[in-house]
């Protein structure tokens, strides 16, 4: 026989369970809807956590350290993007002035015809072009596509906001989140798994950032050194920018850096051929050899194993980088390695314990001392 008030208690538990299920469903939907932003935020968290922690020696508050960390990461990327866009505008203007592009242009495309009067890529040049009506074709095209452009820009800004906010709170409240997870600990299984997964995620994702930085530096040095000895007609354009973009492209599996240095070689070679003197093409061949050997092959063979985790096999990690974007889209470049690390770490740590294996004698105490880095 149920005790007095038992039915009321069961009803309350049912209501609480239903409310909890509703909250979980809504949270899961939001996470699924913005999974790309959350995935990038996790990547940025593990990529910048060491720098965030190192700022603690200056006795700065957590919020200040988090803002500085995100700003130091975001500002160079924004400057690089802005610089790239300016150079693209400059080169596009020079291209349309040099080659008969408009003679082959289809009729009836107003904005394309407006390219013939591209202004100087300066604030004063843009203002002068606007006053002269040279931008009317572009403005009309933008108005016609306003809904599409607005949706694209709004989605981009929303995802950037989510990435920034989630990264910020992961940096300052990672320890609090860890404590919440450890409430469900049983015989240190959760603690051991979190410790191992945390170390491996940091090794793999922070390794990606290190790889980008190292490849960028190597590429800039190689491209600039090549330009120092090559004749002007065989120089690669913008070696510093090309080197930075090569480092970023190294995140893309298989093709990676090739999408930068192969077009560079092609553009330089085409210019030489059009000039009528094919002799400098030997320098372009030398550039390709330097790019393939020093920029692409050697770092991939020598550095990548050091930037990979201890538990995750390099081959499996490479497959995750290859098939992640194919299965999930762009964010799969980060999402697939995260899932792989979590799955392999679970199989290596938590699964044996759940199946009845005894814990390693020196496991839990050591993990408890290292787990502080999770926050």
Q: Which residue has the higher pLDDT, 163 or 359?
A: 163
Residues 126 and 234 in one domain: no
What confidence category does residue 222 fall into, taking pLDDT thresholds of 50, 70 and 90? very high
Q: Which residue has the higher pLDDT, 15 or 309?
A: 15
CA-nearest of 162, 175, 208 to 308 is 208
Among residues 110, 144, 178, which one ends one of the domains?
144
Residues 246 and 333 in one domain: yes
Residues 134 and 199 in one domain: no
Residues 270 and 338 in one domain: yes
The CA-based angle 113-115-118, given to 5 degrees, is 140
Whether the pTM exceeds 0.75: the reply is: no
Residues 215 and 354 in one domain: yes
69 pLDDT exceeds 60?
A: yes
- Do 295 and 215 meet the contact criterion of CB atoms below 8 Å apart? yes
Residues 321 and 244 in one domain: yes
What confidence category does residue 287 fall into, taking pLDDT thresholds of 50, 70 and 90? very high
Q: Which DSSP letter does residue 105 get?
A: S
- Do 291 and 258 meet the contact criterion of CB atoms below 8 Å apart? no
Residues 132 and 264 in one domain: no
Question: What token pair was written down for 335?
Answer: 């999402």
305 pLDDT exceeds 80?
A: no
Q: Dihedral angle at the C-alpha atoms of 268, 221, 252, 265, nearest 10 degrees?
A: 10
The CA-based angle 45-47-51, given to 5 degrees, is 90
Residues 191 and 327 in one domain: yes
Domain residue limits at 233: 186-374
Residues 139 and 191 in one domain: no
* Residues 6+ positions from 243 with CB-CB distance below 8 Å: 216, 217, 218, 219, 220, 221, 222, 223, 224
pLDDT in tens, 310-353: 667 777 877 887 788 888 887 888 898 899 999 988 888 888 87
What confidence category does residue 31 fall into, taking pLDDT thresholds of 50, 70 and 90? confident
What confidence category does residue 365 fall into, taking pLDDT thresholds of 50, 70 and 90? very low
Q: Quote the mean pLDDT of the chain.
A: 78
Percent of residues, the chain, with pLDDT higher than 90: 14
């Amino acid at each position: 026989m149920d005790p007095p008030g038992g039915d009321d208690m069961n009803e309350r538990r049912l209501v609480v369970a239903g409310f909890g299920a509703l909250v979980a469903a809504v949270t899961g939907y939001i996470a699924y809807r913005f999974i790309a932003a959350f995935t990038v935020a996790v990547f940025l968290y593990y990529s910048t956590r060491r720098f965030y922690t190192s700022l603690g020696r200056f006795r700065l508050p957590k919020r200040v350290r988090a803002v500085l960390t995100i700003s130091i990461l975001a500002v160079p990327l924004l400057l690089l993007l802005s610089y790239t866009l300016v150079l693209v505008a400059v080169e596009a203007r020079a291209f349309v002035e040099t080659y008969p592009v408009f003679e082959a242009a289809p009729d009836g495309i107003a904005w394309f015809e407006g390219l013939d009067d591209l202004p100087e890529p300066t604030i004063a040049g843009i203002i002068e072009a606007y006053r002269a009506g040279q931008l009317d074709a572009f403005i009309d095209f933008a108005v016609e596509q306003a809904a599409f452009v607005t949706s694209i820009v709004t989605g981009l800004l929303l995802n950037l906001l989510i990435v920034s906010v989630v990264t910020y709170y992961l940096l300052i409240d990672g320890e609090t989140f860890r404590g919440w997870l450890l409430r469900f600990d049983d015989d240190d299984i959760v603690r051991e798994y979190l410790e191992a997964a945390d170390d491996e995620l940091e090794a793999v994702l922070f390794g990606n950032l290190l790889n980008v930085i190292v490849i960028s530096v190597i590429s800039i040095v190689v491209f600039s050194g090549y330009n120092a000895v090559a004749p002007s007609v065989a120089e690669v354009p913008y070696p510093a920018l090309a080197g930075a973009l090569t480092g970023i492209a190294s995140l893309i599996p298989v093709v990676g850096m090739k999408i930068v240095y192969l077009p560079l070689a092609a553009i330089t070679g085409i210019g030489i051929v059009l000039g009528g003197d094919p002799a400098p093409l030997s320098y372009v061949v030398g550039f390709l050899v330097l790019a393939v050997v020093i920029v692409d092959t050697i770092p991939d063979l020598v550095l990548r194993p050091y930037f990979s985790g201890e538990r995750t096999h390099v081959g499996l990690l490479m497959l995750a980088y290859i098939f992640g974007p194919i299965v999930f889209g762009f964010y799969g470049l980060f999402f697939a390695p995260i899932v792989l690390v979590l799955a392999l770490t679970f199989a290596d740590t938590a699964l044996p314990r759940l199946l009845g294996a005894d814990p390693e004698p020196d496991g839990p105490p050591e993990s408890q001392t290292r787990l502080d880095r999770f926050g």
